[in-house]
Amino acid sequence: MALPLVLGIETSCDETGVALVRGDELLVDSVASSMDEHARYGGIIPEVASRAHLEAMVPTLQRALDTAEVELADVDAIAVTAGPGLVGPLTVGAAAAKALALGLDVPLYGVNHVIGHAAVDELVHGPFPERVMALVVSGGHSSLLLVDDIATAVTELGSTLDDAAGEAFDKVGRLLGLPYPGGPHIDRLAREGDPTAIRFPRGLTAAKDQERHADDFSFSGLKTAVARWVEARQDAGQDIPLADVAASFADAVADVLTAKTIAACRRHDVGTLVVGGGFSANSQLRDLMATRCEQAGIELRIPPIRYCTDNGAMIAALGAAAVRRGLAPSDLDLPVDSSMPLTRVTV
Residue 222 phi/psi, 5° resolution? -65, -45
Q: What's the total number of domains in the chain?
A: 2
336: in domain: no
Same domain, 222 and 196: yes
Query: In this predicted model, what pLDDT tens digit does every residue of 11-31 receive, in sequence order?
Result: 999 999 999 999 989 999 999
Neighbours of 296 (CB within 10 A): 15
Same domain, 54 and 32: yes
What pLDDT sits at residue 138? 87
CATH number reported for the structural domain that contains residue 10 in this entry: 3.30.420.40
Same domain, 91 and 237: no
Same domain, 269 and 319: no
Same domain, 236 and 316: no
346: in domain: no
Residues of the chain under the 70 pLDDT cut: 1, 35, 38
d(CA 263, CA 208): 16
329: in domain: no
110: in domain: yes
First to last CA, the chain: 28
Residue 161, amino acid: L
Segments forming the whole domain that contains residue 83: 5-120+311-324
Same domain, 45 and 194: no
Same domain, 151 and 71: no
Residue 225, amino acid: A
d(CA 334, CA 86): 16
d(CA 177, CA 179): 7
Same domain, 214 and 278: yes
Same domain, 319 and 293: no
229: in domain: yes
Residues ≥6 apart with Cβ < 8 Å to 40: none
Q: How many residues does the chain have?
A: 347
141: in domain: yes
What pLDDT sits at residue 38? 65
14: in domain: yes
Same domain, 100 and 206: no
Same domain, 161 and 75: no
What pLDDT sits at residue 301? 98
60: in domain: yes
Same domain, 283 and 262: yes
What pLDDT sits at residue 126? 96
What pLDDT sits at residue 37? 75
